[in-house]
Amino acid sequence: MNFQPLGDRVLVKVQEVETKTASGIIIPDNASQEKPTTAEVISIGSEVKDIEVGNQVMYSQYARTATVTVEGIDYLVMETSEILGKFGETK
């Protein structure tokens, strides 16, 4: 990876949304438009404190983001203030 976010920004890879249930029901695109989105943190800036590379995070669909394509893969860059929370172990 040759992209390093600056400051309090993080580079994330968006997790694909399930469009089909376990029983085979197809979920239309407009049904999931209002739901928050999850992503995996790929890289962090030097001022990021509570998030680490590899964390699964949730952010609002309406978060201010920039799209970056690195080695043919699309990523999002966002400030940590746009992240609603992270999944994983609680302390």
pLDDT in tens, 74-90: 999 999 999 999 998 65
Q: Does pLDDT of 6 surpass 80?
A: yes
Instruction: Look over the chain and give the mean of its residue pLDDT values, rounded to a whole number.
Output: 85
60 versus 30: the higher-pLDDT residue is: 60
pLDDT tens, position by position, 8-48: 999 999 877 666 677 877 766 665 555 668 999 999 999 99
Residue 24 sits in a domain of what CATH number? 2.30.33.40
50-62 mean pLDDT: 92
In a domain, 4, yes or no: no
- CA–CA dist 85, 79 (Å, integer): 13
In a domain, 1, yes or no: no
> In this predicted structure, what is the pLDDT of residue 30?
62
In a domain, 3, yes or no: no
0.85 exceeded by the pTM? Answer: no
Please tell me the total count of domains within the chain: 1
Name the residue among 75, 89, 2, 79 with its Cα closest to residue 40.
Answer: 75
